[in-house]
Chain A
Amino acid sequence: MNKEEQDIFRAETRAWLESNCPRSMREKVQEESDYYWGGKNGTFKNEDQKIWFERMLAKGWTVPYWHKKYGGGGLSAIENKILNEEMASLGCRKPLFSFGISMLGPALQKFATEEQKDKYLPEIVKGEIRWCQGYSEPNAGSDLAGLQCRADDMGDYFLVNGSKIWTSYGNKADWIFCLVRTDFGSKKQRGISFLLIDMATEGVSTRPIKLISGKSPFTETFFNNVRVPKENLVGELNMGWSIAKYLLTHERQMIGDMGKNDEQVKTHNIAIEHIGLQNGILADTILRTELAQHEMNEAIFEMTIERAIDEAKAGNNSGATSSLFKYYGTELNMERMELQLALSGNQELVMDNPANQNGLLANAMLRSKGNSIEGGTSEIQLNIIAKNILGLPNN
């Protein structure tokens, strides 16, 4: 696509977004339900959310960069980048969120059979099925490969027994992609398989876990003699670990993206509003230093994402891996939350005031503490960089 074609695509896209994205779908996201996650029980918060979803879906733009045969938009990397830029500049919300798009989809594209892709990918694009992730177990967190949830080969089906924990949205999801042990004899990474399980199957149950941030978006998930059809296995039996790791790189990339500050309102604007300027300089000069340091790192982090994309396009290995983005992006997000809370003073600590959406920011700060844990902890990301990239030896 040459420069001229890009400009045309950009102009057309912008015009389309301007006339099709409802006003309210360009406003800042305030709460969880402002996102549409799809699923069998998915509900739209309001008419605008529904209209926006349906219009985007009709263009394949719920997942714009997936192939048209799966219902995606078939956009090239550059077209997708342009679409994202135009959506960001108008403040358009994403029409559909899901772990199917950000995690399972990429893994299926790489490892699944054609039949599996034809079945699952369109469901994800259309938001028909909501997926959750069954990786962690009570005794297998950072040491994920030590997982014990088992699937026994019963001839024409697998019989699954065990439990998963920290299943985000386990109570809202329709299906779960699971890591299960199918071989207890060999090295721990060897005996793992990647299985897709319909949560409506008999024997699957969940129990909510309450978080420090009040909401209860995750569950413990139990499997009690659950029969899973053989065709739900992705990839080869006992070879699920490489799929698991591949999916994790996408998850980490996605989590790391939170290091970008896509909000129209930058943290320093909040600071100016609360603290004020004195001779053009933030009145609290110590906070100003912290803030500038933070916003500079934010800007440089975005350049690093940009560089990684450009290097990938040029076929180079940029060295900037998903572990880097996961580690640094979550550090930035957590720091941003702390800064915003600090500079907003005591009023953001009031939890029953509609003016601050009942402590929205305080809860967001608390929720952000999970960023350096979910998807593999910060320590694990540093281990990966040290060993896999720098080649430092094991102890």
Chain B
Amino acid sequence: MALVLNEEQVLLKSSAVDFFNSKAPLEAFRKLRDENNPVGFDRSLYAEMVELGFAGLIIPENRGGFDFGYVALGQILEVNGRTLAASPLISSVLLSATVLNLAGTEEQKSTLLPLIASGELLLSLAHEENTLHNPTRVNCTATKEGEHYKLNGSKVFVLDVHVANKIIVVARTSEGNEGIRLFLVDVQSPGLSIHRTQMLDNRNAGNISLEHVIISESDKLAGGFDELCRVYDIAAIGLAAEMLGIAQEAFERTISYLKERKQFGVSIGSFQALQHRAAKMFIEIELSKSVVIKALTAIDENWVNLSELASLAKSKLGQTVKLVTNEAIQMHGGIGMTDDMDFGFFIKRARVLQQTMGDYNYHLDRYASLNGY
């Protein structure tokens, strides 16, 4: 597949631009933050996103979705990055629908995927237990007792967990990677407690603890560690798409400012020290666009070396968004540091995304290992 959007994807992207600009500009998110909104996102906005089909993009048609693929979802995430609209699109769709697509039983897919596509069901993926992303260090246990499993342990950094209806929990049934399995846990389950955390980016996340939570065999997912790793790869690529949107937005606003702001009687954009840094950011963003579209395409085409592409995309975008959010503030001078300007929102969201699903070092190390060194 060529590294360009097809007609359908171009249309989808431009309708997403219109939607986010008119319905979910950054001010809307600012308002949610300022009023310390208990839900953390606007339910009616998410309903509209569902109405536009965003929640069903990666869900097969026979499960109530549209089967547009990850290149399409990536466009939405990218555009979303420009206005930072808060929604459960990442937790329920990018993460959980992908888990179900890849690892769910037929029964789980046919009952849950249509509900995700229709926005009726919000799901969270509880996988992290440590300060850094680490797929193999799972201490949460799932002990088989007769027809049931008993879950014990705790999870951190669970996106949107305090508004979820169900949680997909990664737990260990035995030693080794084969022992790592996935379980569907209803949020009403006895023994489960959920604690919302206030994150740097003012988006939803929380910690959970599981004490003797009883799960029936039918709530165990069919797939295990291999599928989960593919989910992590896909998620890393999806997050890279959002980071691309943030980087582009922060960059474009900065270029406008370089043209407007005058010092010493001239536009600051005429200073070569700033011009060259701006040109380098432009280059990094162009490279970033290439790796994101390539990696999204690789998901849809089912590439075997997806992990390599995921690490390329996640690490590159981590670096790019870090560079651009830092330079955006620096090139705005004092006003860049104010909460009134939006750059605080971009840098805060960027830093959380940089950590989610593995930071730069994690993916650099993995890329080297995948290449045999």
Nearest-neighbour CB distance to chain A for B54, whole angstroms, equals 24
- Interchain CB contact under 8 A, A277 and B282: no
Provide the residues of chain B in CB contact with A296, threshold 8 Å.
311-312, 315-316, 364, 367
- A292/B364 contact (C-beta < 8 A), A304-B287, A307-B290 known: yes
Q: Binary interface profile of A, 276-319, with partner B (CB < 8 Å = 1, else 0)? A: 01001110000011011101110111011011001101101011
User: Are A320 and B266 within 8 A (Cβ)?
Assistant: no
Whether B270 contacts A385 by the Cβ 8 Å rule is no
**Nearest chain B CB to A388 CB, angstrom units:** 10
Q: Are B279 and A385 in contact (CB under 8 A)?
A: yes
Q: Assess whether A389 is interfacial by the CB under 8 Å rule.
A: yes
Interface size class of B (residues with CB under 8 A): 35 or more
Chain B, residues 285-316, CB within 8 Å of chain A (1/0): the string is 01111110110000000000000000110011
Instruction: Note all chain A residues with C-beta closer than 8 A to B371.
Output: 266, 268, 292, 295
Distance from A276 Cβ to chain B, minimum over Cβ atoms (Å): 10
CB-defined contacts of B4 to chain A, threshold 8 Å: 307, 310-311, 313-314, 316
> A32 CA to B3 CA in the complex, in Å?
35
Asked whether B267 is an interface residue with its Cβ less than 8 Å from the other chain, the reply is: yes
Chain B residues with Cβ under 8 A from A277's Cβ?
373
Asked if residues A303 and B315 are in contact (CB atoms below 8 Å), the reply is: no
Most chain B CB atoms below 10 A, which of A292, A319, A387: A292
Contact with B along A355-394 (1 / 0, CB 8 A): 0000000000000000000000001011101110111111
Report chain B residues within 8 Å CB of A313. 2, 4
Point out the residues of chain B lying under 8 angstroms from A392, CB to CB. 255, 258-259, 267, 269-270, 274-275, 278
Docked complex Cα distance between A314 and B364 (Å)? 33
Cβ of A268 and Cβ of B372 under 8 Å apart? yes
Q: Counting CB contacts under 8 A, is A272 at the interface? A: yes
Q: In the complex, are the beta carbons of A386 and B312 less than 8 A apart? A: no
**Partner pick for A300 among B2, B258, B287, CB 8 A cutoff:** B287
| Interface pair A280/B278, CB less than 8 Å apart | no
B283 part of interface (Cβ distance < 8 Å)? yes
What DSSP secondary structure best describes chain A's contact surface?
A: helix
Q: Decide if B279 touches A394 in the complex (CB within 8 Å).
A: no
Minimal beta-carbon separation of B60 from chain A (angstroms): 25
Decide if B279 touches A282 in the complex (CB within 8 Å): no
Knowing A268-B373, A272-B372, A306-B3, the reply to whether A385 touches B259 (Cβ < 8 A) is no
- Chain B residues positioned under 8 Å from A387 (CB to CB): 275
Task: Select from chain B the residue with minimum beta-carbon distance to A283.
Answer: B373
Say yes or no for B144: interface residue by CB 8 A criterion.
no
Choose from A266, A300, A310, A394 the contact partner of B291 (Cβ within 8 Å). Answer: A300
Closest to A289 in B: B364
| Complex alpha-carbon distance, A282 and B287, angstroms | 27
Q: Is A241 an interface residue, CB under 8 A from the partner?
A: no
- Quick check: is A204 within 8 A (CB to CB) of the other chain? no
How far is A381 from B372 in the complex, measured between Cα atoms in Å? Answer: 36
Asked if A395 is at the interface of the complex by the 8 Å CB criterion, the answer is: yes
Residues from chain A with a CB closer than 8 A to the CB of B270 are 392-395
Report B-chain residues with C-beta under 8 Å of the C-beta of A320: 286, 290
Say yes or no: A328 contacts B287, CB within 8 Å: yes
Q: Is B283 a contact of A385 with CB atoms below 8 Å?
A: yes
**In the complex, A36 has a CB within 8 A of chain B:** no
* Closest B residue to A394 using CB positions: B270
Distance in angstroms from A132 CB to nearest chain B CB is: 30
Task: Give B365's nearest chain A residue, CB to CB.
Answer: A292
Contact (Cβ within 8 A) A379 B286: no
Q: Which residues of B contact A268 (CB under 8 A)?
A: 368, 371-373
Q: When the two chains form their complex, are residues A307 and B278 in contact, meaning their CB atoms are under 8 A apart?
A: no
A395 to B367 Cα, complex, angstroms: 43
Which chain A residues lie closer than 8 Å to B269 at the CB level?
392-393
- Distance of A383 Cα from B282 Cα, bound (Å): 12
| A282 contacts B373, C-beta separation under 8 Å | yes
Say whether A327 faces chain B, with CB atoms less than 8 Å apart.
yes
A382 to B276 alpha-carbon distance, docked (Å): 6
Cα separation A311 to B10 with both chains bound (whole Å)? 13
Chain A nearest Cβ from B364, distance in angstroms: 5
The reply to whether A393 and B3 form a contact with Cβ atoms under 8 Å apart is: no
Cβ < 8 Å to A, chain B residues 231-257: 255
CB-nearest residue of chain B relative to A299?
Answer: B312
**Minimum Cβ distance to chain A for residue B74 (Å):** 14
Known contacts A299-B312, A382-B275, A392-B275; A324 and B373 CB within 8 A of each other: no
User: With A327-B283, A392-B255 as given contacts, are A306 and B290 in contact (CB-CB < 8 Å)?
Assistant: yes
A395–B293 contact, CB under 8 A? no
Report the minimal beta-carbon distance from B247 to chain A, rounded to whole angstroms: 14
Q: Please indicate the chain B residues that have their CB under 8 angstroms from the CB of A297 in the complex.
A: 287, 316
A178 at the interface (CB under 8 A from B): no
Shortest CB–CB separation between residue A22 and chain B, in angstroms? 31
A394 to B4, CA, bound (A): 34
Q: Are the CB atoms of A395 and B3 closer together than 8 Å?
A: no
Max chain A CB contacts within 10 Å: which of B4, B278, B315? B4
Kindly report which residue of chain B lies nearest to residue A287, judged by CB atoms: B373
Q: Considering the chains assembled together, what is the distance between the CA atoms of A148 and B99 in angstroms?
A: 68
Query: Among B293, B364, B365, B367, which residue has its beta carbon within 8 angstroms of that of A307?
Result: B293
Q: Which residues from B are CB-within-8-Å of A255?
A: none
Could you give 10 example pairs across A and B, Cβ below 8 Å?
Answer: A271-B373, A272-B373, A295-B371, A299-B312, A300-B316, A311-B4, A379-B276, A390-B278, A393-B269, A395-B271
* 10 smallest beta-carbon distances between A and B, as pairs: A386-B275, A385-B279, A310-B2, A292-B368, A304-B290, A382-B279, A395-B270, A307-B3, A392-B269, A303-B290
